[in-house]
Structure 1
Amino acid sequence: MQLNSPASLHHAHPIAVASPGRWSGQAWRLLALGLLALVCCGLFMTLGVKTDWAFVLEFRGTKLAAMILVAWAVGVSTVLFHTITHNKILTPAIMGFDSLYLLIQTTGAFVLGMNVVTAIDPTLKFVGETALMVLFAWLLFRLLFSGAVRSLHLMLLVGVVMGVLFKSMTSLMLRLIDPNQFGSLQDRFFASFNLVATHLVVAAAVVVLAVSAYLWWLRRSFDVINLGRDMAINLGVDYPKVVMRVLVCVAILVSVSTALVGPVTFFGLLIANLAYQIMGTSRHRWTLPAAVILGVVALVGGQMVLERVFAFNSALSIVIEFLGGMVFIALLLRKNGRTA
C-alpha cells in the first residue's frame, strides 16, 4: 500500500485531504502571514536608526537571526510534539528541558561561582548545555518508549516528575547560594535576545537546518501518524522507529533554542495553536510553516514594541509566557467544556 495514498487517507480521516479551493485559501493565509513577518523584520531592522547603519544592521541582524531560529525551532518542535502525543495542550517543556536548563545554570553558579561561569567560553557553554539536555532526553526516550501508547504516556509522566525534581534541586541551591550571585543568576532564568553572540547563532543555525532537513525527509509520515498509532501502522508506517526519531529531533531543536536564548515554556503552545486556528487544518504542509511564521511575527514584533515603546522596561519572554499561559488555560477550559 502506498504510504501517502490520497484515496486511503481520505477514507481514513476527514482532515487528511483538502479540496483544491481550501488549499488555495490556506495558501493565501500563509502568504499573508509571510508578508506580515517580512514587514515586522523590515521595521525591526530600520525603525529608529540614527547612527552608523553598518553597526546597527549587524547588531540587529544578529538578534533577528536568533529570533528567527528560536521561532523555527520552537514552532516545528511543538507542532511535531502535538502530532506524536495527539494532545494540543502539551509542549516539549513537559519533558523537563526548561527545568534542566535552570538546574544547569544554578549548579554552575553554586559550585563554581558566577565569575568562573561568566569566564567560560560561550561556545563551549552552549555545546555543553545542549549536549546535556539532548542526552537527558535520549536516555528518557530510550529507557521508557517502546512504541506503545502506554509507554508514551509513561515517558511523559516521568518527564513531568523529573522536571519537578530539577525545579526542587534548583530551588534548594538558590536558597543556599550567595545573595550577590543570586541577582546575576536570575537574569539567566528568562529568555533574552539582546546578548546573543554571532558565532553561537551560526552554530545553532547549522544544527537547526540539519535537523530540519532530516525532518523534511520524514515529512510524509507526519500526517499519517496524526491519524493515530493503529491507523499509522495499518498504513505502513514503522510507528516506534519514526516516533522515536521525531522525539530525538524535537529534543535537539528545543535544547538548541533553550541553550541559545533561555527557556520559553508557553511560546510553542501559543504559536502552534494559533497556526491550527488560522490555517483551519492539522496538515503539516500548512501548520509547520504557519507556526514558524507566527513565531517570527510574535518575537520580532514583540521585541520591536519592547524596544521602541517600553524602552526595555520589561522582558519579552515575560509577555510571551503570560499570553501563552492564558492560551493554555483557555484550551483546558474548552477541553473540559467538551468532555462535560
Structure 2
Amino acid sequence: MAKRLILLSTLLLIACAIYIGLGAEGAWSFLLPYRATKLASMLLVGVGLSVATVLFQTITANRILTPSVMGFDALYVMVLTLLVHVLGGVGYASLPAALLFAMNVAGMTALGMLLFGLLQKGARGDIMRLVLTGLILGILLRSVTEFLQRMIDPAEFQMVQSVSFARFTQVEPSLLLLSALVTLPALALAWRMRTRLDVLALGDATATGLGENPKRGQAQALVLICILVAASTALVGPMSGGGGSFFGLIVTALAHVITPSERHRILLPSAALTGCIILVGGQTVMERLLDLTTPLTVVIELIGGILFLVLLVKRKRA
C-alpha cells in the first residue's frame, strides 16, 4: 500500500508541475502567484471534500452516499439567492468577501450540527434517518431557491448562476487563507480519529464491544464533515449544479480500487491524493486544452452519474 501511495503522490506532483508550467506565456512574477493560488485552492478543496466523503461513508456504512445529500450545496445557493433578493445585486456585490465566506461556513456547519442534534433526540441517533432527512431538506432548500430565483431580476439571476458552480479561476488569496485556517485543523482531527474510524466502520455493536461510543464518534465525525464541506464550498462554490455532487463518489470509489484497504490510515491519504489529482488534472485539461468551454463540474457529474449507476447495479447483484 505504501508503494501505491507514493505512486499517487508522484502523479500529483507531476500534475501540479504540468498545471504550473504548461502554456506559460508572460512574466513568471505574475503567472506563478496567480497559478499557485488556484493550485492551492484545488489542493485544499480536493483534500477537504475527499476526506469528508470518506468520513461520511464510514459513519453511514454506505459507499454510495456523499455529504452533498445533506443539502450543503443547496444551502449555499439558497443563501446567495436570498442575499441577492434582499440586498439587490449592488448590495450583494458590496458585501466583503470575508463576511460572505464566514456566513456560508457558519450556516452550513450549523445545518449539519442541527440535523444531527435533532436526530439524536428524536430519532435515537439513527444515522440513516439523518441521511433521509438530509435528502428531504435538500429538496426543500432547492424548491425555495427556485422560487426566489423566479422573483429576482434577470441580471441578478445571472449573478447567482455565475457562483452556483465551483470556480477555481477566481479565488481570492484572503479567502484561501481563511479556508486553510478552517480546513487544516479539521483535517488534523480527522487524521487523529483514523483508528477510531476503523472501529466505527465495524458497526455499532462491535464498536461498543471494543470500547468505542458509536454515537459520540459519529457526532464528532459529522462535525468535521460539516466543517470540511462548508469551508470548501464557501471558497470555490458547490461542486455541482443539481441535486448533489458526484465528486466524492468518484474519489472514494477510485481510492478503494487503488488501495483496497479498510484501514483509514491508508484510505484517507489515498482518497485525498486521488481527489487532488482529479481536480488538478481536470482543471488543466479544461483551462489549457478546452479553453474553459466546458465547466469541470459538468464532466465530473457525467462520469460520476455513470459510476453511481454501476455501483448501484453492482450492489444489487451482491
Shorter-chain TM-score range: over 0.9
SS in 1 for 2:278: helix
Mapped to 2, the partners of 1:295 and 1:34 lie a distance apart of 11
Aligned residues: 313
Is residue 174 of structure 2 the alignment partner of residue 174 of structure 1? Answer: no
SS in 1 for 2:150: helix
The residue aligned with 1:304 is: 284
Any stretches of 5+ residues in structure 2 without a counterpart? 240-244
Match of residue 143, structure 1, among 73, 93, 118: 118
Moved more, 151-160 or 132-141: 151-160
Does the 8 A contact of 1:146 with 1:240 survive in 2? no
Residue by residue, what CA displacement relative to the aligned partner does 1:259-314 show, whole Å, maximum 9, x if unpaired? 11111211111101100011112211111111111111111111111111111111
Q: Which amino acid aligns with 1:153?
A: M
The residue aligned with 1:161 is: 136
Describe the shift of the 1:88–1:147 C-alpha distance in structure 2 as closer, same or farther (beyond 3 A).
farther
How far does residue 217 in structure 1 lie from its aligned partner after superposition?
Answer: 2.5
Does the 8 A contact of 1:94 with 1:159 survive in 2? yes
Residue by residue, what CA displacement relative to the aligned partner does 1:107-157 show, whole Å, maximum 9, x if unpaired? 111111122111110011101111011111111111113698862122211
Residue by residue, what CA displacement relative to the aligned partner does 1:28-76 show, whole Å, maximum 9, x if unpaired? 1111111000000011111111211011010000000000000110010
Deviation above 3 Å: which 4+ runs of structure 1? 146-150
Does the 8 A contact of 1:68 with 1:296 survive in 2? yes
The residue aligned with 1:18 is: none
The residue aligned with 1:98 is: 73
Match of residue 267, structure 2, among 287, 291, 296: 287
Match of residue 53, structure 1, among 17, 28, 31: 28
Mapped to 2, the partners of 1:221 and 1:126 lie a distance apart of 31
Is residue 309 of structure 2 the alignment partner of residue 334 of structure 1? Answer: no
Mapped to 2, the partners of 1:205 and 1:180 lie a distance apart of 33
Percent identity of paired positions between Structure 1 and Structure 2? 41
| TM-score normalised by the chain length of structure 2 | 0.95
The residue aligned with 1:19 is: none
Q: Which amino acid aligns with 1:312?
A: L
Mapped to 1, the partners of 2:295 and 2:93 lie a distance apart of 21
Does the 8 A contact of 2:52 with 2:229 survive in 1? yes
Moved more, 270-279 or 214-223: 214-223
Does the 8 A contact of 1:275 with 1:287 survive in 2? yes
Q: Which has the larger Rg?
A: 1
Mapped to 2, the partners of 1:34 and 1:293 lie a distance apart of 7
The residue aligned with 1:248 is: 223
Does the 8 A contact of 2:163 with 2:237 survive in 1? yes
The residue aligned with 2:48 is: 73
Residue by residue, what CA displacement relative to the aligned partner does 1:165-218 show, whole Å, maximum 9, x if unpaired? 000001111112111211221111111101110011111111111111222222
Q: Which amino acid aligns with 1:327?
A: L
Mapped to 2, the partners of 1:162 and 1:80 lie a distance apart of 21
Mapped to 1, the partners of 2:124 and 2:17 lie a distance apart of 45
Mapped to 2, the partners of 1:150 and 1:252 lie a distance apart of 20
Residue by residue, what CA displacement relative to the aligned partner does 1:65-115 show, whole Å, maximum 9, x if unpaired? 000000110010000111000000000111111111111111111111122
Mapped to 2, the partners of 1:328 and 1:149 lie a distance apart of 30
Does the 8 A contact of 1:147 with 1:239 survive in 2? no
The residue aligned with 1:321 is: 301
